[in-house]
Amino acid sequence: MITVTHYLMLSAILFAIGTLGVLTRKNAIVVFMCIEVMLNAVNLTFIALSRHVGNLDGQIFVFFVMTVAAAEAAVGLALLIAFYRNKETLDVDDFNMLKW
């Protein structure tokens, strides 16, 4: 029997994977994908909890999260392209113009 706890554990694991990926990966696109994994872990939490508490607010929230994630992706990839045109790299270690 799969209960809401299983879904919550799955989404917590996904969220942790996403967070670790953001903190450790070097390629900016992979980091961005890890952020998307975090957002989708949140979506899973919302849907599982929506089923659990028995109203639709959580599912509506998920629609907003997906829309916003799409808008964020558009802006983020545009920024990445602009950066790549100037520096020809997407390694986060090369984001080093501004420090101390």
Partner 1 sequence: MENLVQEAIQNVNLHAVMPSLILSVAGMALLLVAVFSPRGKTAHIAWLSIASLIVAGIVTIMGWNDTQYGFAGSVQLDNFAAFFSMICIIAAGLAILMSDEYLKRENFPVGEYYPLILITTAGAMWMVSGTDLITIFLGLEVLSVSLYILAGFFRDQVRCNEAGLKYFFLGAFSTGFLLYGMALLYGVSGTTKVYDIAAYIQANPDTTTNVMFVAGGLLMLTGFFFKIAAAPFHMWTPDVYQGAPTPITAFMSAGPKAAAFAALIRVTFICLEGMQDHLTTVFWVLAVLTMTVGNLIALNQKDLKRMLAYSSIAHAGYAMVGLVAWNEIGSAGILFYMLVYTFMNMGAFAILILIGRSGEENLTLDGVTGLGYKKPMLGIAFSIFLFALMGLPPTAGFTGKFYIFAGAINSGYIWLAVLGVLNSAVSLYYYLRIMIFMYFKEPQEDYAWVKIYPATAVSIVISVIGVLYLGIVPGSIMQLARMAGF
Residues near partner 1 (CB under 8 A) are: 8, 15, 18-19, 22, 28, 31-32, 35, 38-39, 41-42, 45-46, 49-50, 52-55, 57-58, 60-61, 64-65, 68, 71-72, 75-76, 78-80, 82-83, 85-87, 95, 97-99
Residue 32 phi/psi, 5° resolution?
Answer: -65, -40
- Count CB atoms within 10 A of the CB of residue 83: 15
Helix (H, G, I), strand (E, B) or coil at 27: strand
Which C-beta is closer to partner 1: that of 1 or that of 86?
86
Which C-beta is closer to partner 1: that of 10 or that of 35?
35
| Spatial distance between the Cα atoms of 28 and 77, rounded to a whole number of angstroms | 10
